[in-house]
Amino acid sequence: RRSEQRRLLSSFTGSCDSDLLKFNQLKFRKKKLKFCKSHIHDWGLFAMEPIAADEMVIEYVGQNIRQVIADMREKRYEDEGIGSSYMFRVDHDTIIDATKCGNFARFIN
């Protein structure tokens, strides 16, 4: 079920305004997580139960972008006064930007 949802989400390349992207893995995660203030970096996501090394905790959701777009957005976010941007590099060509349209996964420290 989870792999089918990931396949469907990855096949969709639209904007974050889509209902499909709003429907994320938070409803299907199996691990209990807590979102609250962190001593490490402002906000954090904390595990409320033991998690093995090979278990999925939560899927990092956002927009898939290229490096050139990530550089432009990082500058724009800085100009807009957004203190933190939440970009995760998947590989050499792909970055997931969860700054404005992500889920709680962006708060994992």
**Res. 8: pLDDT tops 70:** no
Alpha-carbon distance of 88 to 97, in angstroms, equals: 7
Angle at 85 (CA atoms; ends 35, 32), nearest 5 degrees: 20
Alpha-carbon distance of 66 to 61, in angstroms, equals: 16
**Res. 85: pLDDT tops 70:** yes
- The first and second tokens of residue 57, run together, are 């905790």
Indicate the pTM of the whole model. Answer: 0.63
Per-residue pLDDT tens for 25-78? 445 556 788 888 888 777 888 889 998 888 888 888 999 999 999 999 999 999
Alpha-carbon distance of 18 to 27, in angstroms, equals: 17
Q: Give the fold, CATH level 3, of 2-107.
A: Beta-clip-like (2.170.270)
Neighbours of 59 (CB within 10 A): 17
Tell me the H-state helices in 12-103.
Answer: 19-22, 67-79
Per-residue pLDDT tens for 11-28? 554 445 545 444 544 455
- Every domain of the chain and the residues it spans: 2-107
**Res. 5: pLDDT tops 80:** no
Q: What pLDDT was estimated at residue 28?
A: 52
Q: What pLDDT was estimated at residue 76?
A: 94
